[in-house]
Structure 1
């Protein structure tokens, strides 16, 4: 299966379980891999035959901005649901990174993958 990959997309979200995390949005990094059929785009060189990368990024940013989830896992699940709703994808993987959240770690991340039924 062909893939569209966006790495290091910075989004803002209200996320976290601690009171101090609930006072303001914080930056998160999103890596997303979409499983799609890119054969038509490869043959036609026409943007209408592929996934609009900017629209994917906008969808992820929109979901993150409206989020009030406590867990990265829940936010990633909502992002996957939006991707399957808005785009013709067969599968998707979302990795959410929350940099500098632990004093002794550069990053904490989760990754969820789903396939179309």
Structure 2
């Protein structure tokens, strides 16, 4: 299956379990791998025959900005659900990173892989 990859997309979201995390939005990073059929787009060279990754990125930013989840896992699931609702993908792999949250680690991340209606 063909893939579109978006790496290092910076988003902001109110996320965290602790009170001090709930006072301001946090910068997070998203890496997405979207499994899609790109054959028609490769033949036609027409943006209408592919998945518009700019619109995907915009959707991810909007979902994150509006969310108030405590857990990265919950935000990741929400983002994936919104992607499946608006775009034709065979599978989505999402890595959601929260850098600098642990003093002795550069990053903490969750990776979730889903197929539609899973």
Identify the TM-score tier after normalising by the shorter chain. Answer: over 0.9
Instruction: Give 1:116 shift.
Output: 2.2
Instruction: Give 1:57 shift.
Output: 0.3
Q: How does 1:18-97 map to 2 (within 5 A)?
A: 18-97=18-97
Q: Which residue of 2 aligns with 1:113?
A: 113
CA distance in 1, matches of 2:74, 2:56: 19
Task: Kindly indicate which of the two structures has a greater share of residues assigned to strand.
Answer: 1
CA distance in 1, matches of 2:64, 2:116: 22
Aligned residue-pair number:
117
TM-score computed with the length of structure 2 as normaliser = 0.97
CA distance in 1, matches of 2:112, 2:25: 22
In structure 1, the gaps of 5 or more residues are none
Instruction: Give 1:27 shift.
Output: 0.2
Q: Which residue of 2 aligns with 1:10?
A: 10
CA distance in 1, matches of 2:86, 2:10: 20
Name segments (4+ residues, structure 1) moved above 3 Å.
none
